[in-house]
Structure 1
Amino acid sequence: MTTTGADQDAAGARAPRAWWWWGRRRSVVLDVALAVVSALECGLEGIGFAEKASLPVPVGVLFGLMVGSVLLVRRRWPITVVLVSIAVTPAEMGYLMGVVGLYSLAASEVPRRFTAALAGMSTVAVYIVTMVRLRQDVAHADVDQQDFDPSGWYVPVVSLFMTLGLNAPPLLFGLYIGARRRLMESLRERADSLEQELSLLADRAEQRAQWARQEERTRIAREMHDVVAHRVSLMVVHAAALQAVALKDPQKAVKNAALVGDMGRQALTELREMLGVLREEVPKASSALPLAAVGRAAAAAAEAAAEDSGPCLDALEALVEQSRQAGAVVELVVMGEPRAYGAEVEQTAYRVVQEALTNVHKHAAGAEVVVRLAHREAEVAMQVENGPSDAAAADAHLPSGGNGLVGMRERVSGLGGVFVSGPTDAGGFRVSAVLPVLPVGEPV
């Protein structure tokens, strides 16, 4: 990509020009004007200096012009300006340079100990020159007016007031401007740091929102899989049995058809309850809350849906009975004293058994199944073990997405439990999970 001359001119016009040590054009104009005025002042005062020092007048004027022009570098080298003004104080020239030099020194970033030392030197020099000049004027007044009799304190006190009146205002004003400039710079840096922090917080909020959305998608997919997969699998098994016995045993076919209808209605009811909570909660949250809160609202909606319609361990007997009605041989063994657990613990335990039975219907049709539930002091354990598939059983050709075991592992790990699954030596399959016990009503 090439750049035309007009583009370069426009870019140059937008970019700030470098003015040596000046940051802005008006600073250059101001310092040049002050240097010109100071040079003219010192040039005029150089005439008197040349007469007192018995020098040619052009030499005194040239010396004054050179001294006065030093004010041009007051922003870059304020110490140099003050030292030159102190050096020419005995020559009674450079008053403007002394005033502006003290202001520039006090407003600069020069260490305060150097500022105090140079300000003291300038004050002493001005005080001495002022006192000498005033004493000469008083002596001339004594000659001209015999009745003028100044006391011994008059010359020192008046010289002190004149010196302070000349040096104190620029020094104090420079200190104020320097402090104000540093304050503004610190506020600007603080504003920049706050802006960076806000940007980082916004990025983190976006990351948390993305994480919450991903977690919510996973949660909804897991809930939908658990609700749909088991009941639809049983419906397919019953439908296959219904097709097999429709002509041979009409009474059994009617019974199977009724079971298919009941399971379909139960599945639809659970889906409606879950989707209803999501439709009510998530849009309200997304319209009134920022992006990071939408994910939390969605997660809360899913948790509310699970708490409202989620099953518990008391429903395990009904779950096992449904598999028995589908033709499976299922034995339920409960060990320990049954008791109530936290909502998520009971729902997770139920879902693990439900998904394990669903896998049996999908992959091990006709196999004998043993469901074990153990109530222990600090945990609850469940195990679903099936034997080898019955070769004589008809395959229902149920599809499998491979998400059942993954979902079970995620559920159990999310509660701090342990999940193990794998084939058995007898040719079957075993699913085991152990969940830590939470008291009733305690959040996970």
Structure 2
Amino acid sequence: MTLTPTQRRLLFVLGPVVLGVADTFIGAAPQSTLVRSLSVGAGLVLIARLRMPFATLLATVPGMYMGSAWLAGLIALYTLSRLRPGRLLLTVGTLLVIAANFLPYPLDLEARDPWAWAESSVATAIAAIALGRAVALRGELATRLRELTEGRAREDRLLADHVLATERAQLAREMHDVVAHQVSLISLQAGALRMSTADPASREHADTIRTLAVRTLEELRHMVGVLRAAGGGPVERRPQPRLSDLPRLIGESALDVDADIDYQECASCPEGVERAAFRIVQEALTNVRKHAPGAKVRIRLRCADRELQVEVRNAAAAPGAAPLDLPSGGHGLIGLSERVHLLGGFFSAGPDDAGGFRVSAGIPMTTG
């Protein structure tokens, strides 16, 4: 039969009381009313042992000495050892229990073997103390183990939150780089279609596409901000771009690009280094389409001194070319700088003396 928590609590509180009272009637010689009352009272007073262990022990001493409340005294001493392990109280309580068990009532030392009785009194008292301390230490160890388990669980949660935040920030950067690049291509193609066609309907459709592209970039900037601030569910990760994808990227850019890339030298680059270099070129081409349409672009990738050197330089915008009216979240170059510095490299971006713009980075090939 399974006991409920309330039943277990009642058994824990009242069980020793019943045992202490019952012990006074087991094998006890005929006793006077006073002695019987003291013995039974020593068992009943155990109900207060959890709140007042030392006072309870003192109350059991008369029943132990004059009557037959031997078990009640040991239960009180056990409770004192478990709940009040102070040296002074425990010493006083132990001496009282030993004296009450050793000294006969009425006092007559010749009526019993003093050495055997002393040995029995001391042994039972020490056993009660040892059991009380063992139970107390077991409870302390259980509490410490629970605290350690809870602490480890908190550390695991903090580590998981940190990993999630790192992945979320990386995903936000990847989303900005990839989607902004693709949407700006759509806007560029729509603008080219509008300029090259005389059909009013086609021009209207091109304007609509361009407007939708601009709106998409605005929504993207908002989503990136939300993603950096809040957690999300599991994300399906696609294969990340490598340097071998650069020809496709350059071809889709619809820009006048002079690429000087030594793919053979860069073949030994770690994946993280290749991905960072790809993102640098991608963001630079996107910025050229935004701010310097019609400008000639030069891309240079070289491996030297165990370092991948990336440089993207563009001239000033072509005369008469209007910059694309595309929103910018301001995360592109900042994200590139963070990525490169995490890999132990350097990153710089700024205008050059010829009126163009230059983006350069050096990424150690031993990282990634």
Shift in alpha-carbon separation, 1:33–1:82, aligned structure 2, 3 A: closer
Give the match for residue 411 of structure 1.
Answer: 339
For the Cα contact (< 8 Å) 2:297–2:312, is it kept in 1? yes
1:96 and 1:163 mapped to 2: Cα distance? 21
Give the match for residue 179 of structure 1.
Answer: 130
Give the match for residue 367 of structure 1.
Answer: 295
Structure of greater relative contact order (alpha carbons < 8 Å, 6+ residues apart)? 2
RMSD of aligned C-alpha atoms? 4.9
1:179 and 1:116 mapped to 2: Cα distance? 12
2:38 and 2:195 mapped to 1: Cα distance? 118
Q: What per-residue deviation string (whole Å, max 9, x for no partner) do you get for residues 306-337 of structure 1? A: 3xxx33223434433444xx2x3333345794
For the Cα contact (< 8 Å) 1:380–1:435, is it kept in 2? yes
Gaps of 5+ in 2: 1-5, 7-11, 25-29, 200-230
For the Cα contact (< 8 Å) 2:94–2:125, is it kept in 1? no
1:99 and 1:312 mapped to 2: Cα distance? 82
Give the match for residue 331 of structure 1.
Answer: 258
Give the match for residue 132 of structure 1.
Answer: 110
The one-letter amino acid of 1:312's match is R
For the Cα contact (< 8 Å) 1:311–1:347, is it kept in 2? yes
2:181 and 2:72 mapped to 1: Cα distance? 90
What is the deviation of 1:386?
2.3
Pairing partner for 1:218 from 149, 152, 169 = 169
Give the match for residue 243 of structure 2.
Answer: 313
For the Cα contact (< 8 Å) 1:329–1:366, is it kept in 2? yes
Give the match for residue 76 of structure 1.
Answer: 54
Give the match for residue 420 of structure 1.
Answer: 348
Give the match for residue 437 of structure 1.
Answer: 365
Query: What are the within-5 Å matches in structure 2 for residues 92-103 of structure 1?
Result: 94-96=66-68, 101=73
Rg larger for: 1
Corresponding residue SS for 1:397? coil
1:377 and 1:315 mapped to 2: Cα distance? 24
Q: What per-residue deviation string (whole Å, max 9, x for no partner) do you get for residues 243-291 of structure 1? A: 333469xxxxxxxxxxxxxxxxxxxxxxxxxxxxxxxxxxxxxxxxxxx
The one-letter amino acid of 1:424's match is D
What is the deviation of 1:102?
6.3
1:234 matched to 2:185? The reply is yes
Corresponding residue SS for 2:293? coil
Q: What per-residue deviation string (whole Å, max 9, x for no partner) do you get for residues 77-115 of structure 1? A: 5886799899xxxxxx72546775566446633647667
Gaps of 5+ in 1: 1-13, 15-22, 46-63, 87-92, 134-158, 249-291
Give the match for residue 3 of structure 2.
Answer: none
2:195 and 2:257 mapped to 1: Cα distance? 22
2:265 and 2:72 mapped to 1: Cα distance? 94
Give the match for residue 243 of structure 1.
Answer: 194
Give the match for residue 206 of structure 2.
Answer: none
Shift in alpha-carbon separation, 1:179–1:125, aligned structure 2, 3 A: closer
1:388 matched to 2:360? The reply is no
Shift in alpha-carbon separation, 1:397–1:82, aligned structure 2, 3 A: closer
Shift in alpha-carbon separation, 1:163–1:104, aligned structure 2, 3 A: farther
For the Cα contact (< 8 Å) 1:107–1:174, is it kept in 2? no
Give the match for residue 199 of structure 1.
Answer: 150
Of all paired residues, the percent bearing the same amino acid is 32
Q: What per-residue deviation string (whole Å, max 9, x for no partner) do you get for residues 336-365 of structure 1? A: 944421112112111111111111101111
How many pairs align?
311
- TM-score between both structures, scaled by the size of structure 1: 0.53
For the Cα contact (< 8 Å) 2:242–2:274, is it kept in 1? yes
The one-letter amino acid of 2:110's match is V
For the Cα contact (< 8 Å) 1:107–1:175, is it kept in 2? no
1:107 and 1:232 mapped to 2: Cα distance? 77
For the Cα contact (< 8 Å) 2:97–2:125, is it kept in 1? no
- TM-score between both structures, scaled by the size of structure 2: 0.62
What is the deviation of 1:165?
5.6
Shift in alpha-carbon separation, 1:26–1:231, aligned structure 2, 3 A: closer
Shift in alpha-carbon separation, 1:375–1:126, aligned structure 2, 3 A: same
Give the match for residue 283 of structure 2.
Answer: 355
Query: What are the within-5 Å matches in structure 2 for residues 33-112 of structure 1?
Result: 75-77=53-55, 94-96=66-68, 101=73, 104-105=76-77, 108-109=80-81, 111=87
Q: What per-residue deviation string (whole Å, max 9, x for no partner) do you get for residues 137-184 of structure 1? A: xxxxxxxxxxxxxxxxxxxxxx32x8736872x654554444333333
